[in-house]
Amino acid sequence: MTLNQLTATRASGAVVLIRLYVGLIFAGEGILKFVRPDALGPGRFIKAGIPAGNLFAYLDGVFEIGCGLLILAGLFTRLATLPMIVDMLGALGITKVPLLWGHAPLYPKEGGFWDFFHEGRLEVAMLCGSVFLLVVGAGTFSLDARMNRAESASRVSSAPV
């Protein structure tokens, strides 16, 4: 896949609204892993039973900040969504799916479908937003679109007449 194919988008400029919510939430949650380490960073990862919780919490935080900022800018958007899709699948699988059978370490007093539905709403929304951006690209108002327009213009100007 070429850079041009990776950044290509025919999506409406309204995609900026999806990028705004997805990018801001990922970047903000990444920052919170460092600002509130006990509640949202390593402490939460360890409580959830994730091995090497310190390492994975901070690594996750770095990826969320970096990918969130790329998504906000609309730069390499499709590429930036891939680790975030894995992130949301992991969050759902590790912290939310155990709610279905009542054994979720982060939610000891909750269990069943409705608690899973309620607690997983953000991860599902972020997963859907990330998959949407992977499929349609960054939209008209993005650095991806700008790079693509510049690439197309340079190809046209260098074409033999």
Q: How confident is the model at residue 158 (pLDDT cuts 50, 70, 90)?
A: low
Residue range 145-157, pLDDT digits in tens: 998 877 666 654 5
> pLDDT tens-digit profile of 42-74?
999 999 999 999 999 999 999 999 999 999 999
Query: What distance in Å separates the CA atoms of residue 105 and residue 57, rounded to the nearest whole number?
Result: 16
Residue 7's SS3 state is: helix
pTM as predicted: 0.90
Specify the residue for token string 């310190």.
54
